[in-house]
A and B are shown apart, each in its own frame.
Chain A
């Protein structure tokens, strides 16, 4: 009986670990083992199905010799830079304006944030229609009297990537606003009052005191938006389908079409590994600092 009791109490001690084990196992397999698996495939000559031969860095060499991949990487830089700059700028501006004790704040906040509840496919579909030169904005402005007005970016290979930026910023700047607003609400009002008594003007207070105090929020916004930018896939697919030609290809769409459409699984895996390394370089230091500060604080 004693033995049975000690067994059951030992079982009780292990129970939490036993309960958490299955989900840990699932995550270890589906996240970490699968990453490893993708890594292995990137070193093989796999095309339609995985083949486990070893060809070294051949697929990475091939990837970086593909003009389409160069377009994808260049687009990712253009898209992320503008997307981050505009979303952060607009989000910060809206958060500061909303923080001025205004009427109907709740309503406005809801309006700025509702795009985040939509699927990127819905956003892409809507903007594709608005940006359509034959029937959308261009036509309306033309009929209004300004007949020379041209807004055909979506069909112009040089400009199409900027339409992805427009739709992306529309969808995500409210998210930046929400995080900045939470940050602003966390700032102690007495600091601002003291500066006002000293005679500092409001713009000066914001530039010198409040915006520097938003640094943690700024970091979060930049990291999370970069992550959204790198994995952007549905938006491009719905808005431009990577086109015209391959003008709006991004690494995410490149990976998908190489793997599932062009039977270049090895190249697809190599591009996935490049994407993963980019995300890891941004996210791991961020998570590390967040966790460490949380433990200290």
Chain B
């Protein structure tokens, strides 16, 4: 009897513990789920709004599913919406951003790679100081250089042009890419380069056939980081370009801030989605590398 009783309480204990565990899990999944919904809500709102006709937007709720799905807003945002006095849609600005981002990413990553290689494998007196100089550039508030850069671009004949923007993005991007590659190459054993040197390989040969083949992951990290930063940049775009040479972020802001007439929220949201899709795609395809870039400067390697 006593035995049975104790067995029963034991079963009861086990049950209540299991319930407690369940309750505990609820306290974990509950907040995580709520947060996930809050984080996804703006994206959801953007997508559904962009698919609704304008009357439904003014009549219905901002968060509900569209009753009639239409791509008119996307078409308008892509090729008809007015930016200033030009009603060309986002298309030419999307092309501008591509023309800017591709050379800027390639150049800044290539330069960062070779800088990182020199600062780790061909250390010279003062190499640490050089690295410190570059590192502060990562944290420069760009307002502190806007005026001189605007003057300099003017003197170089690059004012208001896409090559001018490429130059700006490469100049300040070097700081980040050098940081990425330096921190990555520091962990490569020096024996690798020493052995290649004994075999008679020179500076460029070692870089090309020993270092580069091992650095695919960090090249991906650097390209994704630079792509996201440069595609999303607004400050340089709005300060150094005007009119038809603007990148997409500037054009998007112009579309959204049009104050005349009935506000076309569906076109605004479609335009925002068009501007967001390239970086979102990169994030979905290569999110792991994106996170590595984000945390590269933060967590000590």
Whether chains A and B associate is yes
Chain A residues packing against B (C-beta within 8 Å): 12, 15-17, 19-20, 23-24, 26-28, 30-35, 37-38, 41, 50, 90, 93-94, 97-98, 100, 102, 108, 110-123, 125-130, 132, 135-137, 139-140, 143, 170, 174-175, 178-179, 182-183, 186, 216-217, 220-221, 224, 227, 230-231, 233-234, 237-238, 241, 251-252, 255-256, 259-260, 265, 268-269, 271-273, 275-276, 279, 283-284, 287, 290-291, 293-295, 297
Q: Which of B32, B134, B298, B300 contacts A27 (CB 8 A)?
A: B134
Tell whether B15 is near chain A: CB-to-CB under 8 Å: no
Q: Among A121, A170, A251, A287, which residue has its beta carbon within 8 angstroms of that of B252?
A: A121
Question: Considering the chains assembled together, what is the distance between the CA atoms of A209 and B63 in angstroms?
Answer: 43
CA distance A143 to B64 in the complex (A): 13
- Which stretch (B2-10, B83-91, B141-149, B158-166) binds chain A? B141-149
Q: Which residue of A lies closest to B151 (CB)?
A: A50
- Check if B145 sits within 8 Å of A102, measured CB to CB: no
B184 within 8 A of A: no
Most buried by A among B40, B297, B299: B299
Measured between beta carbons, the chain B residues less than 8 angstroms from A217 are: 298-299
Whether B136 lies near A283 (C-beta < 8 A) is yes
Asked whether any CB of chain A lies closer than 8 Å to the CB of B96, the reply is: no
Report if B28 contacts A (CB, 8 A): yes
Q: Are A12 and B145 in contact (CB under 8 A)?
A: no
- B249, A17: Cβ atoms under 8 Å? no
- Supplied contacts A30-B149, A31-B172, A273-B144, 19 more A-B pairs, CB within 8 Å: A16-B203, A17-B124, A20-B130, A31-B175, A38-B148, A108-B36, A120-B232, A123-B42, A126-B272, A129-B265, A130-B62, A233-B143, A255-B143, A271-B143, A272-B144, A272-B147, A283-B136, A283-B139, A287-B139
- Known contacts A178-B291, A233-B234, A224 near B298 by CB under 8 Å: yes
Chain B residue contacts of A100, Cβ below 8 A: 28
**Segment touching A, from B43-51, B66-74, B214-222:** B43-51
Pick the contact of A237: B45, B130, B234, B283 (CB < 8 A).
B234
Contact with A along B115-147 (1 / 0, CB 8 A): 100110010100010101111110111111111
A227 touches B280 (CB 8 A): no
By a CB distance below 8 angstroms, the chain A residues around B232 are 118-121
Contact B235 A94 (CB under 8 A): no
Q: Are A94 and B297 touching (Cβ within 8 A)? A: no
* Residue among A108, A135, A182, A227 making CB contact with B295, cutoff 8 Å: A182
Contact A259 B147 (CB under 8 A): yes
A179 B299 Cβ-Cβ under 8 A: yes
For B279, list chain A residues within 8 Å (CB). Answer: 117-119
Q: Which interface class (under 10, 10 to 19, 20 to 34, 35 or more) fits B?
A: 35 or more
Which one of A20, A115, A125, A231 lies within 8 Å of B268 (CB-CB)? A125
B94 within 8 A of A: no
Q: Which residues of A contact B140 (CB under 8 A)?
A: 31, 35, 276, 279
Complex: A90 Cα to B35 Cα, angstroms: 9
Is B226 engaged at the interface, CB distance under 8 Å to the other chain? no
Question: B272 to chain A: which residues have CB within 8 Å?
Answer: 121-122, 125-126
Any A CB within 8 A of the CB of B253: yes
- The 8 A CB mask of B270-291 against A (1 = contact, 0 = none) is 0110011001101110010011
* B63: A residues at CB distance < 8 A: 140
Q: Is B57 an interface residue (CB 8 A)?
A: yes
Complex Cα gap A116–B73 (Å) = 25
| CB-based contact B142/A231 at 8 Å | yes
In the bound assembly, the distance between CA atoms of A204 and B29 in angstroms comes to 20
CB contact between A31 and one of B32, B137, B276, B284 (< 8 Å): that residue: B137
Taking CB atoms and an 8 Å cut-off, the chain B residues in 180-214 that contact chain A are: 202-203
Looking across the interface, which residue of chain A has its beta carbon closest to that of B46? A126
Is B269 on the interface with A (CB-CB < 8 A)? yes
Q: Most B CB atoms within 10 A — which of A24, A34, A90, A132?
A: A34
List of A residues within 8 angstroms of B114 by Cβ: 19-20
In the complex, what residues of A have CB within 8 A of residue B252's CB?
A: 119, 121-122, 125
**Are the CB atoms of A179 and B295 closer together than 8 Å?**
yes
A28 CB contact (under 8 Å) in B122, B133, B239, B269: B133
CB–CB A35/B257 < 8 A: no
**B223 contacts A by Cβ under 8 Å:** no
Is B147's CB under 8 angstroms from A268's CB? Answer: yes
16 interchain pairs, CB-CB under 8 A = A16-B122, A31-B137, A31-B172, A33-B148, A34-B148, A100-B28, A111-B36, A118-B279, A119-B249, A120-B234, A121-B252, A129-B62, A170-B39, A220-B299, A238-B253, A275-B144
CB distance from B193 to the nearest CB of A (A): 12
Given A17-B124, A117-B228: A30 in contact with B145 (beta carbons within 8 A)? yes
The interface bits of chain B over 153-178 (1 if a CB of A lies within 8 angstroms of the residue's CB, else 0) are: 00000000000000010011011001
Determine which of B57, B171, B287 lies in contact with A110 in the assembled complex, contact meaning CB atoms within 8 Å: B287
B231 at the interface (CB under 8 A from A): yes
Contacts of B119 in A (CB 8 A): 20
Residue of B nearest to A26 (CB): B171
Decide if B31 is an interface residue (CB 8 Å cutoff). Answer: yes
B280 touches A118 (CB 8 A): yes
Bound CA–CA A287/B139 (angstroms): 10
Please determine whether A126 and B141 come into contact, CB atoms closer than 8 angstroms.
no
Q: Are B231 and A119 in contact (CB under 8 A)?
A: yes
